[in-house]
């Protein structure tokens, strides 16, 4: 028996990973206590996704409603599965800049302390397992905002002669920059994952994601760009654009493409690997471009307002350079661009969004 332990298993990336690796024949132990509901309210609850996982995967999936900050509970779970654990995918997190500033101790406890608990439990009970951590491009703070950017009609773009014209590489410094408290807690976790790889010779990887998205995302105002944008457009919910004239750019990677990247690492793991991962030049859009696509797909205008105040530490332009990962794992390629992502999000969720009472 080979076991994958997946934290945040009812969330976007966790649920996609659970389905994928169960399909490969692994037994999945999912850890998720629906803290997303605590962070963002009832609309962001992942309970619906947990129910779908349990129904779809049956005996291949066992759910554990644990808090990753509970060191004893995490250690006991890893001890239960022991050497059968071949893969740990850590996606559980407090993911919002704004929320972190409201409660820094909880943010750091979940993001940094929880990661430490999982690393140590892996070291003690399954040291040969591949450990994959969903980090974030926010470890670079607002350093990307110092790049030479050019304002265009619908987006900001980087000077085409700059070394990062194909996207931002892993050699960008994480120092001397405003991270936000969320970014700081993820930096701590990211460095811990690297250190456990180097110091204890474990097989660890930090995937520093841009916007991770897909139809299973419980999008909310403070987290989940494309999913929440499409939800607001389809349901007629007002949406606020924060700063930069709505021309801020994000690359977007579909959860299925990301999980296939995880699989490549699982098949041939490395120690203390660090990868910027996102849609790259293949899949990206500005806020204005994303709004136009959502309106086209939903067949209705988005009700929106604009405020000049951008979110603290928010990036004006982020596109990932995927070269390092593709050099290490040349079989992997992106398959979803932004229009395809948005169409799938809409098709999968429109009934639930527009008629929640019918699918409750």
Give the model confidence (pLDDT) of 112-137 as tens digits.
999 999 999 999 999 999 999 999 99
- pLDDT of 93 strictly over 90: yes
Go through the domains of the chain in sequence order and give each one's CATH number.
3-358 (3.40.50.720)
pLDDT tens digits, residue range 140-193?
Answer: 999 999 999 999 999 999 999 999 999 999 999 999 999 989 999 999 999 999
Place of tokens 């890893």: 78
- pLDDT of 224 strictly over 90: no
What pLDDT, on a 0 to 100 scale, did the predictor assign at position 351? 87
**Coil, strand or helix: which one is 153?**
coil
Tokens of 34: 């629906």
Average pLDDT on 65-90 reads: 98
Q: Are 21 and 28 in contact (CB under 8 A)?
A: yes
- How far is the C-alpha of 85 from the C-alpha of 123, rounded, in Å? 11
Could you tell me which residues come within 8 angstroms of residue 218 by beta carbon, excluding any fewer than 6 positions away?
A: 11, 12, 36, 43, 44, 45, 46, 49, 224, 227
pLDDT tens digits, residue range 301-356?
Answer: 999 999 998 877 789 999 999 999 999 999 999 999 999 999 999 998 888 877 76
- pLDDT of 219 strictly over 60: no
Instruction: Note if the pTM is more than 0.75.
Output: yes
**Up-side HSE of residue 212: CA atoms within 13 Å toward CB?**
28
């Amino acid at each position: 028996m080979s076991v994958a332990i997946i934290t945040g298993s009812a969330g976007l990336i966790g649920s996609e990973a659970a389905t994928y690796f169960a399909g490969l024949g692994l037994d999945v132990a999912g850890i998720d206590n629906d803290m997303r509901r605590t962070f963002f309210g009832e609309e962001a609850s992942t309970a619906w996704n947990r129910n779908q996982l349990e129904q779809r995967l049956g005996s291949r999936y066992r759910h554990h409603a644990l808090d990753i900050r509970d060191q004893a509970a995490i250690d006991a779970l890893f001890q239960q599965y022991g050497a059968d654990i071949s893969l740990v995918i850590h996606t559980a997190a407090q993911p919002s800049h704004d929320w972190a500033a409201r409660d820094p101790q909880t943010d750091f406890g979940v993001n940094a302390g929880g990661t430490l608990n999982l690393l140590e439990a892996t070291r003690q009970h399954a040291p040969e397992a591949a450990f994959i951590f969903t980090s974030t491009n926010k470890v670079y703070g607002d350093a990307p905002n110092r790049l030479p950017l050019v304002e265009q009609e619908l987006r900001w773009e980087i000077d085409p002669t700059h070394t990062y014209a194909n996207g931002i590489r892993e050699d960008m410094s994480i120092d001397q920059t405003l991270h936000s408290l969320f970014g700081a807690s993820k930096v701590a976790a990211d460095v811990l994952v690297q250190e456990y790889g180097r110091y204890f010779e474990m097989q660890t990887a930090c995937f520093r994601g841009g916007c991770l998205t897909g139809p299973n995302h419980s999008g909310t105002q403070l987290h989940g760009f494309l999913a929440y944008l499409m939800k607001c457009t389809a349901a007629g919910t007002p949406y606020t654009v924060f700063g930069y004239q709505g021309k801020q750019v994000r690359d977007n990677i579909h959860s299925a493409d990301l999980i296939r990247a995880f699989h490549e690492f699982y098949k041939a793991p490395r120690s203390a690997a660090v990868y910027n991962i996102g849609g790259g030049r293949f899949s990206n859009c500005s806020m204005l471009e994303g709004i136009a696509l959502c309106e086209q797909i939903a067949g209705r205008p988005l009700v929106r307002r604009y405020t000049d105040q951008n979110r603290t530490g928010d990036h004006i332009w982020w596109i990932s350079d995927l070269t390092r990962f593709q050099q290490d794992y040349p079989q992997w390629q992106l398959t979803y661009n932004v229009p395809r992502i948005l169409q799938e999000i809409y098709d999968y969720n429109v009934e639930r969004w527009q008629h929640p009472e019918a699918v409750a």
